């Protein structure tokens, strides 16, 4: 299978997953809300039914922030209310757009998957078993075969 076909399959998957999420949310929003209050009620109902723990919404028009509000909780269990400034932990959700962007750069021949990560990110330095390793490749990161440990358990305790 060619690289363009693989990229097309990844893109189709992203569109499908993203489309399902948007459909699930948009199917609960009035088609033509008559006011911001009506829109906010729909979003609050969406959050209160457990579809998502919380979310922050921002609307920018002509380069200016015209609306900013948060709904629900910034964490789970619900202890910290969401705010417009909340930074949400996406965890593995960022893998999909990151892989897509990398494959687009590869497809346009702007990078090689077998190049060391340090070639593009000079600050990327890791130490595995107390030995510096500067030869981790982009392909290894994409395949989870770089030898980097899973730091999540130590991050969340």
Q: Write out the catalytic residue numbers.
A: 92
Q: What is the C-alpha to C-alpha distance for residues 81 and 39, in angstroms, rounded to an integer?
A: 19
Q: Measure CA 148 to chain center.
A: 21
Backbone φ and ψ for 54, nearest 5 degrees, come out as -175, 165
Q: Which residue has the tokens 């729909």?
A: 42
Encoded tokens for 133: 């390793």
């Amino acid at each position: 299978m060619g690289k363009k076909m693989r990229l097309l399959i990844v893109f189709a998957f992203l569109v499908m997953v993203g489309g399902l999420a948007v459909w699930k949310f948009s199917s609960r929003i009035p088609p033509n809300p008559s006011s911001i209050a009506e829109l906010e009620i729909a979003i609050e109902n969406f959050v209160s039914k457990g579809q998502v723990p919380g979310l922050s919404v921002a609307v920018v028009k002509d380069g200016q922030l015209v609306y900013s509000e948060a709904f629900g909780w910034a964490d789970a269990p619900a202890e910290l209310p969401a705010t417009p400034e909340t930074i949400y932990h996406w965890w593995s959700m960022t893998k999909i757009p990151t892989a897509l962007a990398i494959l687009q750069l590869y497809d346009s021949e702007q990078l090689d998957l077998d190049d060391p990560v340090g070639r593009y990110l000079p600050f990327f330095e890791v130490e595995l078993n107390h030995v510096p390793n500067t030869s981790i490749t982009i392909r290894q990161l994409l395949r989870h075969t770089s030898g980097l440990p899973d730091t999540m358990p130590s991050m969340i305790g």
